[in-house]
Structures are given as structure tokens and as C-alpha cells.
Amino acid sequence: MSDQKQKIEIGDGAAIPDPEDKGLISAWWIALIGTVSLLIILPLLKPDPYARILSFVPDGILVTFKVTIASISLALVIGLLTGLGRLSKNRFINLVASLYVEIVRGVPLLVQLFYIYFALGRIVRVPDIVAAVIAMAFCYGAYMGEVFRAGIKSIDHGQTEASLSLGFNRRQTMAYVVLPQAWRTILPPVGNEFIALLKDTSLVSILAVADILRRGREYASESFNYFETYTMIALIYLLITLVLSRLIANMEHRLSHYERR
């Protein structure tokens, strides 16, 4: 039996490197070495302003990570529920899940951020960072839902039948048999979404959340070193996404252990 590895390509995340590709001359390595070199050489050659930028901005890295981790965690939960909802035979649940996906996909993320932050903020006051996380998770939950749906559908129906025939009910079948296998198919696109989300958190700098980009803007508007500041910011984002994409690739490789003969 041929078990073709299924890949779902959704999203606009960084390219996940192929773990089999061990050569030194790959796009990933060139980008990483270039980024790290610039991040070291520029502050050494021209401490003012590069070294100053590097000491000012990293406060924002923690905020960016916090927003990213909180948003992706929430988005995964929403995504799982949405994916299951979209596959549900219950018409009402199916409709609600589909409607949610349609709405989110049709409204730009920035508009959703403004809507949740300013419009809903007038009705319920929540801390800035919480509003940002809710908005990000609300948006990415819909995309994640589609990833989960595709992942679950990619599992051979025979697996479900075998599980049911042993006496498992539908929920147990999903939990013990389908989802653990779907997870492997889902991981690459989830990794993509994770990286895309990390990049999109830069949008929350528009709100009063002091992430990497906002810290950079604060520095630039005081020092007028726009070119230098945004160069460093771009390099910091690039370094983070490069490292993350490699971590995800390794994780993916490890998760596929049962496929190796």
C-alpha cells in the first residue's frame, strides 16, 4: 500500500525548511547567516544608533511573544471547535461554524482589530493586550478551523470504522484515533499559521501594545533614525521566524516517526 504523505498548504507563513536538506547552502542557511551577521556587525561598526536600537527594542520582543503564544493557543482551541463544527452533521452547528469562517475570511485583520479594540471596547473595557489577543485569535481561529477540517478529512475512513467496530463512540474515535493522526498532517500548516500570526502581531502596535514594532516606532520618532530602526526591526523579525521555522520542521520530522519503515 502506498502511503503518500499528504501536505496541506495554507497560509502565508515563512517557508518551513525541509529537515532532510542538510546541505549548508540552502536559502534558510544563507538567510540565517546573513541576518545574524548583520545583527552583530551593524552595532559593532556603528554603535550609534544600531547598538542603541538593539538595547531599546527587545522589551517589545517579550510582548510580541506573549501576544503570539496567547493568540495561537486560543486560536488552536477555536480552530479545533470550528473544524469539528464544519464537519458536524448537526445543521445548526455546521452553519454557525461556516458563518464564522466566512465572516472572518471576508474582513481584513486590521479592521477586525480596530473593531474589537475600539468598537467593542466602548461596550466592555478590557486591557489592551487582552483585546489584541482576542482579535488575533478570533481571526486566526477561522483559518485554523480550515486546517483542522482538512487534516481530519485526510484520515482514511477505515480508521474510523475500525475504531467504531471495537466499540468506541464517535467522540472517543476522534480523540484516540483520528486527531492523533490528523495532528501530523495538521502540524506543517499550523506551523505556517503560527509564523504568519507572529508577523501579524506587528499590527497590534497600532493599538497601545508595546510590541517590537511599537518600540521601534517610539525610538524612531525620538531619534529620527527611521532607516536604521526599521532595518533592525526587520532583522529581528526575520531572525525569529527563521529559528521558528527550523524548530517546526524538526518537530514535524519527529512526529512522523510511525511512517518510517
Partner 1 sequence: MNAADPIIKIRHINKYFGSFKALDDVSLDVNLGEKVVVLGPSGSGKSTLLRTINRLETISSGSIIVDGHDLYDPDEDINRIRMELGMVFQNFNLFKHKTVLENLTLAPIKLKKMEKGRAEAMAYELLDKVGIRDRANHYPIQLSGGQQQRVAIARALAMEPKIMLFDEPTSALDPEMIGEVLEVMITLAREGMTMVVVTHEMGFAREVADQVVFMDGGAIVEEASPDSFFDHPVHARTRLFLDQIL
Question: Which residues of this protein are in contact with partner 1, per CB under 8 A?
Answer: 1, 3, 156, 158-159, 161-169, 172, 176-177, 180-181, 184, 257-261
Nearer to partner 1, 3 or 20 (CB): 3
Q: Using CA atoms, how far apart are residues 229 and 216, in angstroms rounded to an integer?
A: 6
Q: Using CA atoms, how far apart are residues 254 and 248, in angstroms rounded to an integer?
A: 10
**Identity at 1, one-letter amino acid code:** M
With 0-12 / 13-18 / 19 or more C-beta atoms within 10 angstroms meaning exposed / middle / buried, residue 23 is exposed
Nearer to partner 1, 8 or 14 (CB): 8
Alpha helices per DSSP H over 19-58? 27-45, 47-56
Q: Using CA atoms, how far apart are residues 132 and 241, in angstroms rounded to an integer?
A: 20
Nearer to partner 1, 91 or 171 (CB): 171
Task: Tell me how far, at minimum, the Cβ of 91 lies from partner 1, in Å.
Answer: 19
Question: Is the preceding peptide bond at 49 cis, omega within 30 degrees of 0?
Answer: yes
Task: Tell me how far, at minimum, the Cβ of 151 lies from partner 1, in Å.
Answer: 13
Instruction: State the DSSP code for 116.
Output: I
Nearer to partner 1, 125 or 257 (CB): 257
Task: Tell me how far, at minimum, the Cβ of 153 lies from partner 1, in Å.
Answer: 16
Task: Tell me how far, at minimum, the Cβ of 193 lies from partner 1, in Å.
Answer: 23
Task: Tell me how far, at minimum, the Cβ of 164 lies from partner 1, in Å.
Answer: 7
DSSP string, 229-253: HHHHHHHHHHHHHHHHHHHHHHHHH
Nearer to partner 1, 104 or 187 (CB): 187
